[in-house]
A and B are shown apart, each in its own frame.
Chain A
Amino acid sequence: MEMSELTHASAPRRSIGGQLLGSSQLVLGLILAALCIAISIAAPQFYSEANIIAILRQCALVLIVASGMTMLIITAEVDLSVGASLAFVGCIGMAVLNSTHSLALGMLAALAFAGGVGLFNGLVVTRLRVNSLIATIGTMMMLQGGVYLFTREAVQNHNRLVSFTDLGAGYVGAVPVPVILAALIFVVAYVTLRFTTLGRYLYAVGANEKAVRLSGLRSERLKLFAFVVTGLCVGVAGMILSSLMNAGQPTAGRGFELTVIAAVILGGTSLLGGRGSLFGTLLGVLVLKVIDNGIIILGWNQDLQMVVPGVVIILATYLDIIRNRANVR
């Protein structure tokens, strides 16, 4: 946010009320509220405790990866390999769990693999200067092929570790474990972006990489950091997913990268870098998942789960543009 203020320094200073109204999150918050009200009128069970927990659990996976992806997109890069990596991580994590019977080792293997993928992407982008869209399409292909070379079928759960099952299906009080993990990761990422120097540098790299380099910071390292963080988030999400499915599925995660990116963009983070916020991403994830949930509890055709988000992404971005134009005037 600070950086976005800086980059739009030419815009006249606005009052606090004007800033609040001008916030892109407000539009999204209103959309979310309208959705919740509309769905709950049509289907009162929307507000049941069970349903709200179901929505939160659905949000958890996307939010975990979207937290890393928001940082990455703020630095003006993108990672399309997260879906393929998610599937691979689940298979590797499950295989390690089966052979070692240790949740710690399985988790470590998943994080090492996914972090390694992030590191690879980051090195290709920062050292070899390959456009991240292309680099991560390349990694996506390698991972999609690689996971089938690793296993042709789902890696079944032979370890019967209670702690592993809890990772996806467990509860602390009334709250599912994945939601707690997602909340933790979200808060850490939020604090990093909002309140630390590192966070401010990430915005700066996305807004004006050259200026950052000229001021003596290593812009490559910052981008590399964002890639690795995104990878580590995928590692956590992959383990949760394989716990939820009770197997490592090589076909899992198809299209997951698009859902994550859609949520981040919906949250107002600019693909050009330098602008965006994690709070927006949270709203973006919630909007997409509330829509998904609404389609299910209203008994609509589930294929609408693809159509409606498509419309919402375009519409929300368009509203944001109109709002910006109004602000400039």
Chain B
Amino acid sequence: MSLASTASLKDQPSMLARLFARQELALLACLILVLAFFSVTVENFLSVRNLTNVLGQASLPLIAGIGCAIVFISGEVDISIGSLLATIALPLIIIMNDTNSLLVGVSGALLFGLIVGVVNGYLTAYAGINSLIVTLGTMFIMRGGVYLYTGQRAIPDDASLDSFIALSDGRLFNVIPYSAVIAIVLLAAFAYMMQHRPFGRQIYAVGGNQEVARLAGYDVRRVKFICFIISALLATVAGIILAARVGSAQHTAGLNFEFQVVAATVLGGVSLAGGIGSLSGMALGVLILQFLSNGLRGLGLPTEWQLVITGMIIIAAVAFDEAKRRRANGG
């Protein structure tokens, strides 16, 4: 845009600059900076217990963030995930209370999530309605539906299945919370899909340039449709873990969760414009925000300050990223 930025394009970027041009490396440096800062200022910050606790807390935004990032990369948005988190707890808890089976309950929840994904995906990809409007609508509908059904009272988990409770406080080898294990496995699987499978490439192509993707023979509508289903199913998994954690179906569960996930995803370098970003970037974005709020709590700052600082960091990070991108593009 400016003369200075076009001039800088001609200069050979230094080694360090080239390293930092890699989104993930810059994010990793940020994460290390956060960790280093709090390891000095907060006692026991780097203890295994605290680190794994944060991982457990990060698992919800990590799992839902995968779906959020994939939908973003396809060039759409999904802000219904917070409401979905609360909604799928209903079939889950009700079915489990009825059948005493985790498997049936989870299947019911996943089926419900699938239906929501199909609705979001159909309305966006095939009916052609702006995805922000569609998911704003389904967000309202689901949240209102949960309020209606529960009468604003929590539905407790009466089955108290060991396997269900283990989802919240069980740990693999007594170290890593199961929820974090689920998040890592899902992250690895979807990162593999995005980078190494044809479908992943189709998602990038569709988000990058819809017209070109169509001309290349990709079924743009189908790709977007499936992305919404993936997002809804992943949010369902996050919702199941959340329900296990609170031991009930809560009508206020996941309130503002979508904003938290969207913020972390964008912080991780996934562009709202589509076609740009990676799941590892999203994961780093989530971890930075989670360690930040954990560390600030360790410093004894009230939750309010955490909100304020998180807000500032999101704006600063995206602004920094934008400036870097403009410099790299020379305008």
Contact = CB atoms under 8 A, between A and B. Distances in A.
Contacts of B141: 306-307, 310-311
Contacts of B304: 144-146, 148-149
Contacts of B129: 314, 317-318, 321
B144 A304 contact: yes
Contacts of B259: 80, 137, 140-141
B322 interface: yes
Interface in B227-246: none
B308 A146 contact: yes
Interface in A312-329: 313-314, 317-318, 321
B305 A304 contact: no
A148 B308 CA distance: 10
Contact of A262 (B136, B138, B308): B136
A265 B311 contact: no
B133 A309 contact: no
Contact of B307 (A135, A145, A272): A145
B224 interface: no
Interface string B296-312: 00000011111111111
A324 to B, nearest CB: 10
B330 interface: no
Nearest to A145: B307
Q: Which of B140, B259, B272 has the most CB of A within 10 A?
A: B140
Interface in A285-308: 301, 303-308
A310 B133 contact: no
Given A307-B140, A321-B129, A124 B326 contact: no
B134 interface: yes
A138 B315 CA distance: 6
Interface in A126-166: 128-131, 133-135, 137-142, 144-146, 148-149
A314 B140 CA distance: 11
Contacts, number: 134
Contacts of A303: 144, 147-148, 152
Contacts of B144: 303-308, 310
A124 B319 contact: yes
Contacts of A134: 262-263, 266, 272, 314-315, 318
A271 B315 CA distance: 21
Contacts of A144: 304, 307
Q: Which of B262, B310, B312, B315 has the most CB of A within 10 A?
A: B315
Interface string A113-127: 000000000001000
A27 interface: no
Size bracket of the A interface: 35 or more
Q: Which of B266, B302, B311 has the most CB of A within 10 A?
A: B311
A131 B276 CA distance: 14
A31 B211 CA distance: 35
A262 B134 CA distance: 11
B315 A301 contact: no
A258 B133 CA distance: 10
A310 B137 contact: yes
Given A128-B322, A258-B136, A307-B141, A140 B311 contact: yes
A247 to B, nearest CB: 19
A254 to B, nearest CB: 9
Given A135-B318, A137-B259, A310-B140, A142 B311 contact: yes
A129 B323 contact: yes
A58 B284 CA distance: 44
B139 interface: yes
Given A303-B144, A314-B137, A138 B311 contact: yes
Contacts of B145: 307
Given A142-B308, A146-B304, A137 B314 contact: yes
B263 A137 contact: yes
Contacts of B147: 303, 306
| Top-10 shortest CB links A-B | A306-B144, A145-B307, A310-B140, A141-B311, A307-B144, A128-B319, A310-B141, A142-B311, A303-B147, A145-B308
Given A138-B311, A141-B308, 8 more contacts: A124-B315, A131-B272, A134-B263, A140-B311, A258-B136, A271-B133, A307-B148, A317-B129
10 contacts: A128-B323, A135-B315, A137-B314, A138-B318, A258-B140, A271-B132, A303-B152, A304-B148, A306-B140, A314-B137
Interface of B: 123, 127-130, 132-134, 136-141, 143-145, 147-148, 152, 259, 262-263, 266, 272, 302-312, 314-315, 318-319, 322-323, 326
Interface of A: 80, 124, 128-131, 133-135, 137-142, 144-146, 148-149, 258, 261-262, 265, 271-272, 301, 303-311, 313-314, 317-318, 321
